Amino acid sequence: MKLIIFILSLTSITACSELGVKPWERNVLAKPEMSLDSTPLTSALDDHTYFSKEASSGGRGFGGGGCGCN
Amino acid sequence: MASPCEILVETRDHVLAKKLIHIAANEAWRIERKFSRYRDDNILYQIHHACGGPVEIDDELALLLNFSEKCYQLTDGMFDITSGVLRRIWKFDCSDNIPTQKQIDALRLLIGWGKVSWQQPFITLPEGMELDLGGIGKEYAVDRAAVLISQVSDLPVLINFGGDLYATKPPNSRESWQVGIESIGGLNKTGIIQVKSGGIATSGDARRYLERDGIRYSHVLNPKTGWPVQGAPKSVTVASPRCTDAGFLSTTAMLNGVAAKSFLEAQGVPYWIQN
Amino acid sequence: MKKHKKITMALAVATSSLMSVTPDVHAEESADIGDWDIDAAVLYYTESDRVSAFEPVISAKKQIDTDESISLKLTLDSLTGPSANGAVPSINPQTFTRPSGNNGYTTSANETPLDDTFKDTRIAFNASWEQALTRMTRLTLGGNISNEYDYLSLGLSAVVAHDINQRNTTFTTGVSFANDTIEPEGGLPTAFGVMQPSGTLQPRQTDSDDKTIFDVLFGVTQIIDKDSLFQVNYSYSQADGYLTDPFKVISVVDGVIGLPIIEDATTNLSQVVYENRPDSRAKHSVFTQYKRNIIGDVLDVSYRYMFDDWDINSHTLDFRYRLKTSETTFWQPHLRYYQQSEADFFRPYFISGQHPGEGTDNVYATSDYRLGEMTTYTVGLEYGEKYHDHGWSISGEFYLQSISEPTKKVGQLVQQELYPDVDAFMLRFSYDF
């Protein structure tokens, strides 16, 4: 049930075409620090630490590589 | 570009300044390579040698064509990028070589945006016709360079490609950039414009004209008649949020000949005319 | 005199459309074609009195063509120091046998039993290749291999990203497949096998086993306005095979006095049984992130909800604020809150006589605190400098794992802390050029 609500909300988000910018308004969004994963190396290090100490993992994207730590 | 280009960057970081200048210069050269009619390895060459067949073009050229088409519509056909062929007979070398009406009439058959088939992404030029983006190329390069620079840095930058310029923001050390307008017929600066940000473009015939029997023919040609525009000012400078806008307005003002001033008045933009 | 129309509005619109030729501006480290963009980082992680890790990593990305790039990454992970073996503390000293079966180690009275056998170095290599399939679609193929003394992981992944709406919306779909093989020293223990004194035969089943992990991801990234964007991802992960931790044990204690049963009096070996986890795990998670530019500063918040068929559900809340202190410097405070519920087979200990028999594969139990109910907190601060062609940053973080103590304990266990808080410090340095 939760899943259905989630998928419905996903599709309704994308139906919002009032959201967004014109291509020439992207100067701030183009900055490296505005990227969703602006420091992939350190976020991979963090993910690996938390993966080995907690029961959850991932969410953001695909990691790279398993280990014997969990 | 065939004119001196400079980029002013206000910063203590000279390494960054060099990087920004390289970005602007590379973009200018890229645009020049891509849209130069003197090269045989770019899209323009392909279009001019397609013998009346359609050519598929990329997004950037498509946008430039859309823009040119809009300019054509806004000026009732006076701004026409197919009018470049006239340079074959009109050589503005300060001499008195005026072409004959017969020569002009022959070329007028090859002018007219209405004869071009433009259905994005395909352009079809009748054989013998040409596209000349010189009218907006430099101003477009200025705006593009400004876009690329502002993606990398927030510094105040002034880009000046041969008199068509754009300032990203006011300098930190004083109120505004000081831009001089060249006086026609001399090297003394006629006036100083205070620019905080935005574009400035100048259309003028300080160096290119023909003169015969006491009549000065400006290098701004009317695409409908094939003759230079009569009574155009010697120089028109326009300020507008973007350099491309400013360039279009100053060119259109010249195309309006004696009505240049009233045209610019109607647009409500800052302008400077030299007659 | 001809009346002139004011065309500045139409002109502004036309010029704006013209400027939209900006190529797909994905906020990435822009590299010129042909250059290698190198990033390096090193993490030093240390828990008080427990495990320490030293993890250097280096990655190189090369723009092969305007729409094609490759990325390579090498990671080294060196782990030293003890970690909890899952047994309970006692008012008496205890002895346990190392996984090899050859020798043992002791735990003092009233101390959490820690096994310091783990000294391992892991090396991992990732490669990925990204190519634009169409103007609006990109494919990324990835492969990774990770190897340590007793563990090998091989994986492949494929992700497709598709933009619509002038690149304001991006749909991402990805799949990944991995196969991990574990071959610990001494072999894999039998489920609920009883640990034997060192030098004698240990309860073992096979030398090695493996697991396969299949992941699928669906995501939407949406630009809200010129200063902000957000992302929502749903992912599903299915793991099958050997999911048990071969080094973790569960104490067997007396039902009244709570003392660990002595398995072997001569060596003072406590009675512990090896844990056993289900051979499959299905996880669902929903992740959402929001980033906003605020006058040059960047706010980054994310939330993840996870639930699985082991009855664990978790919430992760992450908050970062990148404070721009100058054109080239920044500070970034970081807060992370994590909370998880315990697995339905979480058992801190067994009462004597109530533990499953050796070899009972279809019953599950673990006392590993990482599957217990816990809340963790991270507080950190980062300082960095960023120039156009290089940058570096340093960060220090405190990480506290606060595990829920079981409420009903027997005998001496009442005065023991079965799951003391684990606190760790993480120091990270990164450099890119």
User: Which among B239-248, B250-259, C374-383 has the top mean pLDDT?
Assistant: C374-383
Cβ contacts below 8 Å, chain A against chain C, sum to 222
More confident residue, C74 or B37: C74
Contact C316 A56 (CB under 8 A): yes
Chains in contact with A, counting 3 or more C-beta pairs less than 8 Å apart as contact? B, C
Closest CA to C51 of C77, C93, C27, C81: C81
How far apart CA C24 and CA A30 sit, in angstroms, is 10
Q: Does A64 touch chain C (CB under 8 A)?
A: yes
What is the pLDDT averaged over residues C46-75? 91
Contact B268 C7 (CB under 8 A): no
Model pLDDT, residue A10:
57
Closest CA to B52 of B136, B97, B110, B106: B110
Nearest chain A residue to B143, by CA:
A24
Judge whether residue A66 has pLDDT over 70.
Answer: no
What is the pLDDT averaged over residues C303-323? 97
Confidence of residue C24 (pLDDT cuts 50, 70, 90): very low
What is the pLDDT averaged over residues B169-181? 83
| C7-432: CATH topology | Porin (2.40.160)
Judge whether residue C25 has pLDDT over 50.
Answer: no
What is the pLDDT averaged over residues C332-357? 96
Judge whether residue C12 has pLDDT over 90.
Answer: no
Confidence of residue C1 (pLDDT cuts 50, 70, 90): very low
Contact B151 A31 (CB under 8 A): yes
Q: How far is A61 from chain B (nearest CA, A)?
A: 26
More confident residue, B10 or C305: C305
**Which A-chain residues 13-32 have CB contacts (< 8 A) with chain C?**
13-14, 16-17, 19-32
Q: How far is B151 from chain A (nearest CA, A)?
A: 5
Identify the three-state secondary structure at position C59: strand
- DSSP string covering B178-226: EEEEEPTTSSSEEEEEEESSEEEEEEE-SS-EEEETTEEEES-B-TTTS
Judge whether residue C221 has pLDDT over 70.
Answer: yes
**Which A-chain residues 29-58 have CB contacts (< 8 A) with chain C?**
29-36, 38-42, 44-45, 48-50, 53-58
Q: Average pLDDT of chain B?
A: 85
Nearest chain B residue to A25, by CA:
B147
Taking contacts as CB-CB distances below 8 angstroms, the residues of chain C near A49 are: 43, 45, 53, 399, 426
What is the pLDDT averaged over residues C221-232? 94
Closest CA to B55 of B153, B126, B150, B146: B126
Judge whether residue A63 has pLDDT over 70.
Answer: no
- Kindly state the helix (H) or strand (E) to which residue A49 belongs, with its residue range: helix A40-53
Q: How far is B68 from chain C (nearest CA, A)?
A: 9
- DSSP string covering C87-152: PPP-SS-EEEE-TTSS-EEEE-TTS--EE----EEEEEEEEEEEEEEETTEEEEEEEEEEEETTEE
Judge whether residue C175 has pLDDT over 60.
Answer: yes
**ipTM entry:** 0.88
Residue type for position C91: I
Judge whether residue C31 has pLDDT over 50.
Answer: no
Q: Which single residue is written with the structure tokens 């498509």?
A: B62
Taking contacts as CB-CB distances below 8 angstroms, the residues of chain C near B245 are: 8, 11-12, 15
Torsion angle, alpha carbons of C162, C167, C168, C170, to 10: 10
Q: How many residues does chain A have?
A: 70
Model pLDDT, residue B95:
75
What percentage of chain C exceeds 90 in pLDDT? Answer: 79
pLDDT in tens, C137-157: 999 999 999 999 889 999 999
Distances (CA, A) of B155 to B151, C156, C370, C387: 11, 43, 49, 13
What is the pLDDT averaged over residues C347-367? 94
Both tokens assigned to C48: 């008080």
Model pLDDT, residue A4:
57
User: What is the CB neighbour count within 10 angstroms for residue C29?
Assistant: 14
Interaxial angle between packed helices B134-152 and B243-255, expressed in degrees from 0 to 180 and rounded to the nearest 10 = 160
Helix runs in B3-100, H state only: 14-35, 43-48, 59-74
Q: Which single residue is written with the structure tokens 């028999």?
A: C357
Nearest chain A residue to B144, by CA:
A24
DSSP bridge partners of C38: C60
Provide the residue ranges of all domains of chain C, joining segments of one domain with +. Answer: 7-432
How far apart CA A57 and CA B275 sit, in angstroms, is 73
Confidence of residue C126 (pLDDT cuts 50, 70, 90): very high
Taking contacts as CB-CB distances below 8 angstroms, the residues of chain C near B254 are: none
Nearest chain A residue to B152, by CA:
A31
Distances (CA, A) of C203 to C79, C181, C209, C211, C272: 27, 20, 16, 21, 12
Confidence of residue C167 (pLDDT cuts 50, 70, 90): confident
Contact C388 B263 (CB under 8 A): no
More confident residue, C245 or C64: C245
Confidence of residue C28 (pLDDT cuts 50, 70, 90): very low
Q: Does A1 touch chain C (CB under 8 A)?
A: no
What is the pLDDT averaged over residues C18-46? 68
Model pLDDT, residue C29:
38
List the single range of A39-43, B209-213, C61-65, C153-157 with lowest mean pLDDT: B209-213
Contact B151 A24 (CB under 8 A): no
What is the pLDDT averaged over residues C72-94? 93
Model pLDDT, residue C418:
96
Identify the three-state secondary structure at position C53: strand
What is the pLDDT averaged over residues C281-306? 96
Confidence of residue A31 (pLDDT cuts 50, 70, 90): confident
Contact A31 B147 (CB under 8 A): no
Residue C68 burial class via C-beta count within 10 angstroms: exposed 0-12, middle 13-18, buried 19 and up: middle
- Buried-exposed string C212-240: b where 16+ CB fall within 10 A, e elsewhere: ebebebebbbbbbbbbbbbbbbbbebebe
Domains of chain B: 5-274 (3.10.520.10)
Of B63, B241, B256, the CB nearest to C21: B63
Closest CA to B62 of B43, B38, B49: B43
User: Which among A23-32, B3-12, C160-169 has the top mean pLDDT?
Assistant: C160-169
Model pLDDT, residue C63:
82
Model pLDDT, residue B152:
86
Both tokens assigned to B93: 């070398």
Identify the three-state secondary structure at position B23: helix
Contact A20 C314 (CB under 8 A): no
Judge whether residue B143 has pLDDT over 50.
Answer: yes
Model pLDDT, residue B10:
84
What is the pLDDT averaged over residues B102-113? 89
